Amino acid sequence: MFCPDCGTWNRGGAAVCLRCAAALPDVPSRPDAPDALITALRQATGNRYRVLRRIGSGGMADVYLVEQETLGRPLVLKVMHAHLSRDPEMRERFRREAEAAARLVHPLICVPFDYGEVGEMVYLIMPYLAGGGLADVLGKSRTMPPVRVAEVGVQVAAALDHAHRHGVVHRDVKPDNVLFDEDGNAYLTDFGIATAQFHARLTASGRAMGTPHYMAPEQAMGKTLDGRADLYAVGVMMYECLVGFPPFDAADAFAVGYKQVHEEPVPVTEVNSEVPAPLAAIVMKCLAKAPEARYQRGAELAAALDGWLHDAGVSREGYARTNVPGVGAAIPAYVTPHTTPGATER
């Protein structure tokens, strides 16, 4: 809804405005009024889903809450923007990457249930996660307790380890793409949409694509990526969760990308001295400029965070759905991006 005081758009369910902190009116949720687009969506999906309301919009797609008619369960419908669906290259990459993501069977990866194309309408059906997103949490509180940051980091790293071992590099790990279920488990999402839009070499020009604040140096330079670029993004995300802002910021995307490549981040403990030094060291290792200086596998990062949590006396019960093979064991390093099976960018 729009804030009545400053006019800022806020995510559904927000209690106060994220910009001016004014209390937002309590408006009961209800389905959007029928319109031509919703009618078209019902027809495109064969009337299998009842469209309840639009819940978001991004650079790649509009997002709707729907109800599956046959089972009565809530799902998410993501509809590719029409101007993108008319581009044959973007349409094909959307389909190809969605197909790849659908093969990632992991308890902490949110993957498509269905995919369809009807004319210019291209859509995905995704699970609905009722716990909101990491971006919502940061929008309300700016930071999170170190233990919670590590728990989320373990689960995201575990999900990425599975994806990387199956040849998929996410390329757009950020708070918007981490969602929570009702029990607080963190799910990595938008493999299909994010990788279709933010492809490291979307065109032959080598122009780098991505969300600049979370891009690894090699991604900012438009180089070929492997899973270690995703682990850099996890480091950025944990840094932001601990101190309240990402390590690099600037007036425009180019300037942020320049800093990713050429500047060193301010150490976590210098920004927030209350962050435990061992956890801060894990985050800073993720942010190493050279990929070979970072954690080499998602399982290796998950094991480091799991070890810190264990030393801090935290039970694994709260984040036990990691399902990381070999946690605590030696993790083989990358040799080169081209000789690591399943790890290089597709």
- Residues labelled as active-site residues: 172
Measured torsion, CA atoms of residues 133, 138, 144, 147, in degrees rounded to the nearest 10: 30
How many of the other CB atoms lie within 10 Å of CB of 48? Answer: 15
Label residue 241 exposed, middle or buried (CB < 10 Å: 0-12, 13-18, 19+): buried
Collect all residues with Cβ–Cβ distance below 8 Å to 171 and sequence separation of at least 6.
194, 195, 198, 199, 200, 210, 219, 225, 229, 230, 345
Both tokens of residue 67?
Answer: 């109800």
d(CA 111, CA 150): 23
Packed helices 227-243 and 277-286: angle between N→C axes, nearest 10 degrees: 140
Q: Where are the alpha helices (DSSP H) in 103-187?
A: 134-141, 146-165
Contact 186, 155 (CB under 8 A): yes
**Pairwise CA distance, residues 83 & 87, whole Å:** 7
b (16+ CB within 10 A) / e for 124-146: bbbbbbebbbbebbbbeeebbeb
